[in-house]
Structures are given as C-alpha cells and as structure tokens.
C-alpha cells in the first residue's frame, strides 16, 4: 500500500516506518494516525517483516498531536480522536514482532506515547522527550498516564506529566525510558544493527514473550507467572524450538521459520 503521511519500506526483514510531515514536526493528525494504524496491520500480516523500526522525517520523531486540528474538537470528537490514538498505540504494542523506536529529535506528547508503545526506545543525542499536554489545559490521551508509569515508575511519571518538563536523551536513559543513546548520524545504522540481532532469535519465542510480558503488567503476579508457564510449554510444540536446540547442540547458527 501507499500512504499519504508516512514512508514505508521493507528490506531484509525490517519494516522502516517514517512519519513524513517534517513541515509540522510530524504532528499526529487523524490522517497520520489512520496511516499508522494501516501500516501496523500491514506489517503484522507480512511474513517477510521480522522487526519494525519507527522514526520521523527531519528534526522530529513526533512533536505531538496536531494542536491546530484539535482546537475546535467537541467532547465527542475528542473521544473519537483519543480512541483512534489508543488504537494505533495498541496495534504496535500488541504486534507479534519487535517494534523499535529510533528517536531522532522531538518526541513530545503523542510522539512520546508512540515511543512508549514500542518495545525499545533508542535515541539520538538530539532527542527530547516530554508530555506537554497540561500546558494546553488538557492531559495525555494516547496512553502515557498508564504506560509511562510502567516504564519509569508512578512518581516520575506524575512529575513529567504534571510539570510538562522536557528531558534530553541522557536523562531519558538515566530514568530507564531510553535503552541507548547514539550520535545523530549513527542512530538508524545502530538501531538497524539491533533489529538484525533481534531477527536472529526465535520469532515464536519473541511473539510469545512480548504477549505475556504485556499481559502480565495488568494482572496479579501469580496469574502472570502462570501465563509464563503456559507460554514456555507451548513453544515446545513449535518447529523453531527443535531448530534452536538442535542448532545449539550442533554448534551452528539456527535457521528459524516462525513455525
């Protein structure tokens, strides 16, 4: 498919999704959100896609939702907008494949929330993160009130949301939001290296682990550990398990088939 607001390319198992509205710092309008929802569904269905990389064109990852588009929203229109945003974030969070955010610049508001829906966040030294919604008299609407607390803890999440503080990449790494920080010119190549490393692992195991870790965040520990037991044992019925263990014992590289 072709998309109006994003670039989409699949190469060597990696789906590169680039939000392409640099003139407005890649702001998340309804058109962008609909394109992201469609591309997430396309990447999920494509058996050639093993890992997804999200990034932004120009000097921003995503500088937030489209404020101009929101100005005259009624409460019902705002509800439809937040439901659309949540649908997008859920689609990437629940994808069976690993999703890596390569944050090249501003990741504010909905942009930070898109990062939080990814499996890993990698940032350039030029990256900035924040939830500035309360400067507008509103609040985060695409998941930050929940996902940010899971990543950095409830107290730090409250502080970032209430104060609207913008933090740099190094501070984001210090608080556990960002996995690694790279020079700006190295960001995509370094994230691509991470993607290739992940692609070399068992895709059935990654899909099961991602699903169970996400579900486990919202339930009691005993129930979450039971999910792990079920997921672990179910993988022993896959071809990938047999290939992975055989490759280890034979001291060769595994050739996983996602079966």
Q: Quick check: is 159 catalytic?
A: no
- What is the full DSSP assignment across 168-235? EHHHHHHTTS-SEEE-GGGHHHHHHHHHHHHHTS-HHHHHHHHHHHHHHTTS-HHHHHHHHHHHHHHG
pLDDT tens, position by position, 157-190? 999 999 999 999 999 999 999 999 999 999 999 9
Domains of the chain and any CATH numbers: 6-199 (3.90.226.10), 203-249 (1.10.12.10)
pLDDT of amino acid 259: 87
Sheet of 60-62: strand order equals 60-62, 106-108, 128-130, 167-168
- pLDDT exceeds 90 at position 66: no
Whole-angstrom Cα distance, residue 101 to residue 115? 6
CB within 8 Å of 78: residues ≥ 6 apart: 70, 141
DSSP 49: -
DSSP 201: S
Tokens 């190549």 label which residue?
189
pLDDT tens, position by position, 94-134? 999 999 999 999 999 999 999 999 999 999 999 999 999 99
pTM here?
0.92
Q: Are 113 and 142 in contact (CB under 8 A)?
A: yes
Among residues 44, 57, 93, 133, the one annotated as catalytic is: 133
CB within 8 Å of 72: residues ≥ 6 apart: none
H or E stretch including 128?
strand 128-130
Neighbours of 215 (CB within 10 A): 14
Among residues 41, 44, 57, 113, the one annotated as catalytic is: 113
Burial class (CB in 10 A: 0-12, 13-18, 19+), 138: middle
| Mean pLDDT (the chain, rounded) | 95
Q: Quick check: is 113 catalytic?
A: yes
The total number of residues written for the chain in this structure: 259
């Amino acid at each position: 498919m072709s998309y109006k607001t994003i670039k989409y390319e699949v190469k060597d198992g990696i789906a590169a999704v680039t939000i392409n509205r640099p003139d407005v710092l890649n702001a998340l309008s309804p058109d962008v959100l609909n394109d992201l929802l469609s591309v997430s569904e396309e990447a999920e269905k494509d058996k050639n896609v093993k890992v997804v990389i999200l990034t932004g064109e120009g000097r921003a990852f995503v500088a937030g939702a489209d404020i101009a588009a929101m100005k005259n929203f009624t409460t019902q229109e705002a509800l439809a907008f937040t439901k659309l945003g949540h649908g997008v974030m859920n689609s990437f969070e629940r994808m069976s494949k690993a999703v890596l955010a390569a944050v090249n610049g501003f990741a504010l508001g909905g942009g930070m929330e898109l990062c939080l829906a990814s499996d890993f966040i990698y940032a350039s030294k030029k990256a900035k993160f924040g939830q500035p919604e309360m400067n507008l008299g509103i609040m985060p609407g695409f998941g930050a009130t929940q996902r940010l607390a899971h990543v950095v803890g409830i107290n730090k999440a409250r502080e970032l949301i209430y104060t609207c503080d913008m933090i740099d990449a190094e501070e984001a790494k210090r608080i556990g939001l960002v996995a690694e920080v790279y020079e700006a010119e190295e960001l995509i190549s370094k994230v691509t290296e991470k993607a290739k490393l992940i692609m070399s692992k068992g895709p059935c195991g990654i899909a099961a682990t991602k699903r169970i870790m996400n579900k486990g965040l919202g339930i009691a520990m005993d129930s979450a550990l039971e999910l792990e037991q079920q997921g672990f044992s179910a993988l022993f019925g896959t071809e990938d398990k047999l290939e992975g263990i055989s490759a280890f014992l034979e001291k060769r590289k595994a050739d996983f088939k996602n079966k």
